[in-house]
Amino acid sequence: MAIILGVDPGSRITGYGIIRVEGRTTEYIDSGCIRVGEKPWAERLQTIFHSLALLIGEYRPEEFAIEQVFMARNPDSALKLGQARGAAIVSAANSGLPVHEYSARQVKQSVVGNGGADKAQVQHMVQALLKLARKPQADAADALAIALCHAHMNQSLARVAGSGGRVRSGRMRHS
């Protein structure tokens, strides 16, 4: 069993999603958004750091997954996003969590089956995969998708390890 905390970093809103994975069963635990408002920049980063530390303390995840930085058109926005990611990563590292990073394309491919999927498609698939009564808010859905992507990657690695790493005809051979 593993509890995974997925984080979709942002300079104004940081989404988080927490799931439990046991074998092939995935269970929704919690999700939401850390809203930092219009505080001074250093206080926003501190809010992200402390809010994630509280979530880590409450839910005790074993794994931490976060979206990689993409090159934004605006360099200032890219720098701020990088700093928000840094605050989140340090919060996880301070708690001794291994940090795993995935590109937006990897996350969408893993959850939707299409690396170019839009936010609505990600929300829909997260809702379906986790059997949620309603669609989560977009940033929370993205964070849950990051956690699901990490779970899928772990399951794929376990299958490869279980097969001795042998692959035949594009399909894995089970011993």
- The residues annotated with a catalytic role in the active site are 8, 67, 139
Query: What type of residue sits at position 119?
Result: K
Is residue 63 part of an annotated ligand binding site?
no
Half-sphere CA count of 67, side-chain side, radius 13 A: 27
Domains of the chain: 2-146 (3.30.420.10)
Q: How many CB atoms lie within 10 A of CB 22?
A: 10
Say which residues have a Cβ less than 8 Å from residue 96's Cβ, sequence separation at least 6: none
Is residue 30 part of an annotated ligand binding site?
no
Q: What is the structure's pLDDT at 69? A: 79
Give 77-105 pLDDT, tens digit per residue: 889 999 999 999 999 999 999 999 999 99
Q: Are 119 and 84 in contact (CB under 8 A)?
A: no
Opening angle at CA 27, ends 25 and 28, nearest 5: 155
Provide the whole-model pTM.
Answer: 0.88
Strand-pairing partners, residue 5, are 18, 64
Is residue 139 part of an annotated ligand binding site?
yes
The parts of the chain modelled with pLDDT lower than 50 are 165-175
